[in-house]
Every structure is written in C-alpha cells, then in structure tokens.
C-alpha cells in the first residue's frame, strides 16, 4: 500500500513537471507572434530616415512660373486733374481774348501691362507668390488758339511707368479635372516714374519744358483668375487684378528749351496746387523747385499720383 502511494506521488510529481513543459512551446510561439506584431507596429510608426523625409518634402514643395500680359485701368488722381486744369486755364485765356480755339483734355487711364510671377507650392493648392510687373501709359492733351496771323499751340503730354514688386498668398480651388479657380492677395512696393512735356509754339518761336520725377510707395492687391490645364504642368489662364497704390513726392529734374534763350536744367519736384486766375479756380500739376511764390497760387502740395486700378490679364503657367 505504501508502495502504491509512492507511485501515485511520483506520478503526480512527474505530471506537474510535464504540464508546463508541454505548454511552453505554444507560449513561446505566442510570445514570438506578439513580439513580431509589436515590431511591425514600431516600424510603421517610427520616423522615416532623413533621406526619405527630404524626398517627401521635395515632393510636397513645388515651383511654377507665370508669364502674363494685358491692360490696366489707372485712376490717375491728381495727374489727370492737374492736366485738365492746365487746359482749362488756356481755354479761359482764349475766351477772354475772344479768340476761337480747339482743345483736347483726355485723362490718362489705360496702360499696357506685362509681368512674371514665381510660385512656391507648399501643397497641391496653396503657396507663396513673388512677382513683378511693368506698366506704361501715355496720353496727350492740348489747346490750339487761332489768331489772325498764326496759331498758338500748347501741348501737355504725360507718361507714367510703374514696376510693382509683390509678395502674396495664393489658393487654387479645383473645378473638375482641368480647371482651377485661383485666389491671391498680398502687397509690395511700387517703383514709379512720371514724365511730362509742356510744348508751346507760335510761328517760329517755341518754349518747351521736359520734366521727369521718380518716387515709390506701398501697394496692395488681390486677384481672381480661372486657369485651364493644357498638358501636364502647363496651364493657360485669364484673370482680373485690383491694385491700391498712391504714390507722392516725385522728385527729379526738368529741362527748358526755348527759341529765345539758352537751354536750362534744374532739379525739383512735381507739385499740385490751386491757381486763382481772373475769378476762376484751376487745379494745376506742374514741376518746380518749390511751391510758387505767387499770390494766385495756394494749397501747394507734392503731387500724388494714384496708381490704383484694375488689370485684365492672360498668360501661361509652367509647373516644375
């Protein structure tokens, strides 16, 4: 009986040792699967190598070049108002003398425009735009007064040039697979030039003044456009742009050329002032050394040219 009890105890002891041993391979396999699963998850969640991250960034950042041209409607401001005052002043002179005259006083509004923009995409739809454009416009005004033996002619020709340099943010809203609606807004600095000719002639006598002034100032703009994809990376577009830019303090030089005296040059600036002549008030834009010491002149200030306006443009965009 004792021996049987000993056998039973030995059997139970062996069974106790065998049960963990039989269960160990399954446990080891499960642990191995768990380690493998954790390793796979760590591989997925771990950061990419530096080279792969750099490549991914390059894929997200893109560049494009826009070339455009069109027409700009310029407000003008004191430029147009001052030239109209000059013409009105000579018209009054002809009326006071009882002489017939013909006059033209067309404001300067239309300018040609061309430019280029470098676009930096920080995603498929948005980014930064660095651009520059060139605007130029020219207009003529004048009066012809008829006298018995000759015609007195005075012309006022003015020309404006502007180079707005801009930095803005843009967003492309897809309209289907081939079209984008483009929004952009920003600001920058405008470099401007004003040139004016005052040409007076009667028979063989003449007296001309050629004046040039340069200035600069801030500008702000917004544009809305529609572009169409032609091929991979090539788009054509049409857009409208609104710009706000008022620039003053046009300083430079003038040259006087006369049939009765040697040529003369002097430095100065463009002024805008009120001229009270024979009971009428005229707004005048003229180039001078300083505000005129003339009892008929009042409210003289440095002329401010309004380069604000609206542009209608078309062009092409190349995506790199």
Distance CA(310)–CA(46), nearest Å, equals 52
| 82-115 per-position pLDDT tens digit | 999 999 999 999 999 999 999 999 999 999 999 9
Which residue, 28, 46, 64, sits at the end of a domain? 46
Q: Can you give the pLDDT at residue 240?
A: 98
Q: Are residues 221 and 246 both part of a single domain?
A: yes
Q: Are residues 262 and 129 both part of a single domain?
A: yes
List 66's β-bridge partners, or say none: 117, 317
Q: Are residues 8 and 143 both part of a single domain?
A: no
The structure tokens listed for 180 are 């984008």
Q: Are residues 132 and 171 both part of a single domain?
A: yes
Q: Are residues 14 and 151 both part of a single domain?
A: no
Q: Are residues 164 and 147 both part of a single domain?
A: yes
Number of domains in the chain: 2
Q: Can you give the pLDDT at residue 284?
A: 93
pTM of the model: 0.78
List 207's β-bridge partners, or say none: 200, 258
| 134-175 per-position pLDDT tens digit | 999 999 999 999 999 999 999 999 999 999 999 999 999 999
Query: What residues make up the domain containing 191?
Result: 53-319
Distances in Å between the alpha carbon of 127 and those of 52, 60, 182?
A: 23, 11, 11
CATH code of the domain containing 296: 2.40.160.20
Q: Are residues 160 and 41 both part of a single domain?
A: no
Q: Are residues 139 and 284 both part of a single domain?
A: yes
Q: Are residues 176 and 263 both part of a single domain?
A: yes
Q: Can you give the pLDDT at residue 54?
A: 41
Greatest alpha-carbon span in the chain: 162
What is the enclosing helix (H) or strand (E) of 42?
helix 2-45
Count Cα neighbours of 243 within 13 Å in the Cβ-side half-sphere: 34
157 closest CA partner among 214, 88, 105: 105
| 219-233 per-position pLDDT tens digit | 999 999 999 999 989
Distance CA(103)–CA(122), nearest Å, equals 56
| pLDDT more than 70, % of the chain | 81
Q: Is the pLDDT of residue 30 over 50?
A: no
Distances in Å between the alpha carbon of 314 and those of 71, 132, 144, 229, 237?
A: 10, 15, 40, 14, 6
Phi, psi torsion values for 250, nearest 5 degrees: -80, 105
165 closest CA partner among 119, 131, 128: 131
What is the DSSP secondary structure assignment for residue 22, as one 8-state letter?
Answer: H
Distances in Å between the alpha carbon of 3 and those of 8, 10, 12, 14?
A: 9, 10, 14, 16
Q: Are residues 214 and 292 both part of a single domain?
A: yes
Calculate ∠ Cα 292-302-221, nearest 5°.
Answer: 165
Q: Can you give the pLDDT at residue 27?
A: 44
Confidence band (pLDDT; 50, 70, 90) for 291?
A: low
**Cβ 106 vs Cβ 140: under 8 Å:** yes
């Amino acid at each position: 009986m004792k021996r049987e009890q000993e056998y039973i105890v030995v059997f139970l002891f062996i069974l106790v040792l065998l049960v963990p041993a039989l269960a160990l391979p399954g446990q080891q396999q499960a642990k191995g699967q768990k380690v493998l699963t954790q390793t796979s998850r760590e591989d997925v969640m771990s950061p990419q190598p530096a080279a792969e991250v750099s490549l991914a960034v390059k894929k997200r950042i893109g560049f494009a070049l826009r070339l455009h041209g069109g027409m700009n409607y310029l407000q003008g401001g004191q430029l147009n108002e001052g030239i109209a005052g000059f013409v009105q002043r000579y018209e009054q002179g002809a009326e006071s003398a009882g002489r017939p005259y013909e006059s033209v006083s067309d404001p300067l509004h239309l300018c040609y425009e061309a430019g280029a923009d470098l676009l930096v995409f920080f995603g498929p739809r948005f980014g930064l735009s660095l651009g520059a454009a060139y605007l130029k416009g020219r207009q003529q005004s004048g009066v012809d007064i008829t006298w018995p033996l000759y015609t007195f002619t005075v012309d006022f020709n003015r020309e404006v040039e502007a180079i707005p340099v801009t930095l803005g943010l843009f967003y492309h809203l897809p309209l289907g697979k081939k079209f984008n609606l483009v929004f952009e807004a920003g600001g920058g600095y405008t470099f401007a030039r004003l040139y004016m000719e005052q040409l007076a002639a009667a028979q063989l006598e003449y007296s001309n003044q050629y004046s040039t002034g340069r200035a600069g100032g801030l500008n702000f703009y917004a544009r809305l456009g529609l572009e169409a994809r032609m091929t991979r990376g090539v788009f054509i577009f049409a857009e409208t742009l609104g710009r706000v830019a008022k620039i003053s303090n046009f300083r430079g030089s003038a040259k006087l050329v006369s049939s009765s005296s040697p040529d003369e040059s002097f430095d100065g600036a463009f002024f805008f002032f009120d001229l009270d002549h024979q009971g009428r008030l005229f707004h005048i834009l003229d180039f001078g050394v300083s505000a005129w010491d003339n009892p008929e002149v009042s409210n003289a200030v440095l002329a401010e040219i309004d380069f604000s306006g609206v542009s209608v443009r078309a062009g092409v965009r190349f995506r790199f």
